Structure 1
Amino acid sequence: MQDLFDKDPGKAPDTAPRPLADRLRPRKLADVIGQAQLLGPEAPLGAMLEAGSLSSLVFWGPPGVGKTTIARLLADETDLHFVQISAIFSGVAELKKVFEQARHGRANGQGTLLFVDEIHRFNKAQQDSFLPHMEDGTLLLVGATTENPSFELNAALLSRAQVLVLERLSLADLELLAQRAEAELGRPLPLDGPAREALLEMADGDGRALLNLIEQVAAWKVEGKLDTAALTGRLMRRAAKYDKSGDEHYNLISALHKSVRGSDPDAALYWYARMLTGGEDPRYLARRITRMAVEDIGLADPQAQTVCLHAWEIYERLGSPEGELALAQAVTYLALAPKSNAGYVAYKAAMRAAKATGSAPPPRHILNAPTKLMKDQGYGEGYAYDHDAEDGFSGQNYFPEDMKRPVLYSPVERGFERELKKRLDYFARLRSRRDES
């Protein structure tokens, strides 16, 4: 019996159309959209090609920015045989086969460019297996990774390859890609201006994702042009790229911290929101926000730490979304608070001094002497009770006897630390008078 899904046997089988991303794949490096920082005449890749000295490379960048395409075009530009494997699906046996084929090709005058996608997925032994073949010229390795190579790739491999950073596509890049897609499709997208901008933003800097979205939109049968509401109602918006345990996690918390330190509440709130929408645990944010209060505001506004702790407590009591609002208010407070890292600097200086002086004991005059032997040894001898001294300040030395008195805490002329600086200066004057008398 003929299968119900079979076509008419008298007709030629239909050929599935090639995906738009494949149809628009550039045929030469000049056609690549974006990555001018690598491909321009004075840029690293452009300079290598001009000099005819292409070396092994590691492409580090987000998905959909052209890593595979550029590798394939480099092989074309240099007349190398292009071989592509993925570290996710390849093992030792396939690597051995690739190396043997590259050796055979080299013996016949044909070099090999081996492109390894997700190269960070290979373990140390697998990464090491590339080294002899890179060194003797059997193959030119081009690895691609979305993870920080400094953490994910062996030092030996990194020493033999140049790391090049590919950037997410800008809105202008994505617009140019959309125009090429419309030319390929032979018709404009049925979107008004704001909806078109929304479509580009949905791609989140990923050219392949944009072309997939465009294919969906182009397949719709619509009258006139869709507005933003109609577009977003028909499309599932792509989730922002955010890896809570990877580089993006640390990049975004760094952006939040530096925005607070830079007294920019709008930027701080933006990065806070980016982390929340990416699925970050608000408790992690509460902890980091409190650290910002201690590290970057300190005693310039002692209330900042209290604000953070109260916001943290509110989150624990109320949960989301009310508790997240409390944390957002704490972020805003920190960004606008006077800044001082004097306490943080003093703490680190104290730690260095403590390590440098080892086990130096306190001066004997400030040690308690609960036994006769300790009294005979001079413990407590000469101690001046500060409450009995004029101004409530004796000016005694409290550092080890052989240690030169350091200055660890230097408050700034901002916020409450102005008052603390006045107090320090006051005690310094009293101490100077005691030393002179």
Structure 2
Amino acid sequence: MSSLFEAAGLENEAPRPLADRLRPRSLDEVVGQDHLLKGEGPIARMRKQKRFASIVLWGPPGVGKTTIARLLADESGLEFEPMSAVFSGVADLKKAFERARARRQAGRGTLLFVDEIHRFNRAQQDGFLPVVEEGVITLVGATTENPSFELNAALLSRAQVLVLKRLEADRLELLVQRAEAELGRELPATSDARTALLELANGDGRYLLNLVEELFALDRDEPLTPADLSTYLQRRAPVYDRDRDEHYNLISALHKSVRGSDPDAALYWLARMLEGGEDPLFLARRIVRMANEDIGLADPTAIHAALAAKETYDFLGSPEGELALAQAVVHLACAPKSNAVYSAYKAARKAASETGSLAPPKHILNAPTRLMRDEGYGDGYEYDHNVEGGISGQDYFPDTMKDRPVFYEPTDRGREAAIGERLANWRKLREQRRRK
């Protein structure tokens, strides 16, 4: 049969992609995951002890999750049974478990590899528990999502989560060198273009090898330049899921960059989220929160800038309105910081929950009826505007509160410095009045 294919100029099998041809043949050939595979790494220890437990491999695309699972099966002598949670359901799981039980009776174990394991619902995830506990299967799950949020606690307690890292430039360069050795020629690219190619891959080894294969297929005489790459290769959209882990990671980075007074980092994370397709109004709401939580009265104009950015975006839309969000982010990042009001409000809420039934002192109560006047409502109240300096120094806490709490303590930054001086004088006046 093969001679017929050859006579027709055809191959028995379809040509395999470069990424598949370069798939590591042993765990020692896997790049970029030495923290798991070398020294005292968890997989290295399993190999030494020849005891392979169920694991969940968590990491970005193209860093070796499937490869590691396949090689673990080869090294441990287990039957490798792959499935994808995207295309499989309860019936597929039951069949896989039945095959694993049959193998076990024949004296052979099964490594069940479940790609995108987070796509299984809670009930489906619970289905793994008995077969893992009984040792029917060794489970290796792969996910790009945070297992803490996406996987059952019961399943996580039976499988060790191992975090895979995105591939750094030197590891990606090693993959390019392997491709050159496989194809027997150098990549047709200048050194600058080669560096740009590694950046395009964004830590994804499989994607890099696909790009390399495209460049080799061009069969050019002249080396490619960085400008040529933009012509021949399409830049991949940033990895960003608006409703998943990356969303929370990036908004945390933006908020903390603003809090840390770094406008450049704040602009970078803002741009990353907008480029990834984040809802600008979600960002506007978070910017308003930053103004209240992290700046407050140190710069009272911050909240106005944040609200103005939201109104401007509503008026202009994208992309023009995004500049208003950027302006607000820079304003907040450059502003003096204070969480004094934020902390004061939390402390006041705690005190209110603990003393919620105490009545206000009678001297600050209104007395619209004769009975209320007879009961002493409003007795001794001093109208602050009629007092020199505009403050009477009266006590406004409930009479039965022994200690007068101080919730708001201004910082010495921005406008709060002047507020702090005023409050210190007023608190001193109240203390003097209480002692009389």
Alignment map for 1:11-410 (pairs within 5 Å): 11=8, 13-14=10-11, 15-403=13-401, 404-410=403-409
Structure 1 residue 313: deviation in Å? 2.5
**Residue aligning to 2:429:** 430
Native 8 Å contact 2:80 2:112 kept in 1: yes
Structure 1 residue 399: deviation in Å? 1.8
Structure 1 residue 130: deviation in Å? 0.8
Letter in 2 for 1:334: L
Letter in 2 for 1:433: Q
**Residue aligning to 1:420:** 419
List per-residue Cα deviations over 1:118-175 (Å, max 9, x = no partner).
Answer: 1111122211111111111111111111112112111111111111111211122211
List per-residue Cα deviations over 1:238-280 (Å, max 9, x = no partner).
Answer: 1111111111111111111111111111111111111111112
SS state of the match for residue 144, structure 1?
strand
Letter in 1 for 2:152: N
Letter in 1 for 2:414: G
Structure 1 residue 311: deviation in Å? 2.5
Moved more, 381-390 or 349-358: 381-390
Q: In 2, Cα distance between the equivalents of 1:10 and 1:49?
A: 47
Identity %: 65
Query: Residues 372, 230 of structure 1: CA spacing in aligned structure 2 closer, same or farther, 3 A cutoff?
Result: same
- The alignment yields a C-alpha RMSD, in angstroms, of 1.8
- TM-score, with structure 2 as normaliser: 0.94
Q: In 2, Cα distance between the equivalents of 1:205 and 1:405?
A: 57
Structure 1 residue 85: deviation in Å? 0.7
Structure 1 residue 21: deviation in Å? 1.0
Query: Residues 222, 386 of structure 1: CA spacing in aligned structure 2 closer, same or farther, 3 A cutoff?
Result: same
Structure 1 residue 414: deviation in Å? 0.9
**Residue aligning to 2:410:** 411
List per-residue Cα deviations over 1:58-94 (Å, max 9, x = no partner).
Answer: 1111111111111111112222211111111112222
SS state of the match for residue 322, structure 1?
coil
Structure 1 residue 10: deviation in Å? 5.6
Native 8 Å contact 2:263 2:329 kept in 1: yes
Q: In 1, Cα distance between the equivalents of 2:169 and 2:76?
A: 31
Q: In 2, Cα distance between the equivalents of 1:11 and 1:314?
A: 67
Structure 1 residue 26: deviation in Å? 0.7
Q: In 2, Cα distance between the equivalents of 1:360 and 1:184?
A: 81
SS state of the match for residue 275, structure 1?
helix
SS state of the match for residue 163, structure 1?
strand
List per-residue Cα deviations over 1:218-256 (Å, max 9, x = no partner).
Answer: 100212111111111111111111111111111111111
Structure 1 residue 32: deviation in Å? 0.5
Structure 1 residue 8: deviation in Å? 8.6
List per-residue Cα deviations over 1:295-350 (Å, max 9, x = no partner).
Answer: 11111111112222223323233333332222212211211111111111111111
Extract unaligned runs of 5+ from structure 2.
none
Query: Residues 402, 38 of structure 1: CA spacing in aligned structure 2 closer, same or farther, 3 A cutoff?
Result: farther
Q: In 1, Cα distance between the equivalents of 2:374 and 2:42?
A: 76
Native 8 Å contact 2:366 2:378 kept in 1: yes
Letter in 2 for 1:419: A
Q: In 1, Cα distance between the equivalents of 2:337 and 2:356?
A: 33
Structure 1 residue 34: deviation in Å? 0.6
Q: In 2, Cα distance between the equivalents of 1:356 and 1:38?
A: 50
Query: Residues 337, 41 of structure 1: CA spacing in aligned structure 2 closer, same or farther, 3 A cutoff?
Result: same
Letter in 1 for 2:66: T
Q: In 1, Cα distance between the equivalents of 2:400 and 2:46?
A: 61
Letter in 2 for 1:177: L
Q: In 2, Cα distance between the equivalents of 1:339 and 1:77?
A: 56
Letter in 2 for 1:345: S
**Residue aligning to 1:3:** none
List per-residue Cα deviations over 1:15-61 (Å, max 9, x = no partner).
Answer: 32211111111111111111222222112222232233332111111
Q: In 1, Cα distance between the equivalents of 2:17 and 2:6?
A: 26
List per-residue Cα deviations over 1:176-228 (Å, max 9, x = no partner).
Answer: 11111111111111111221122111111111111111111110021211111
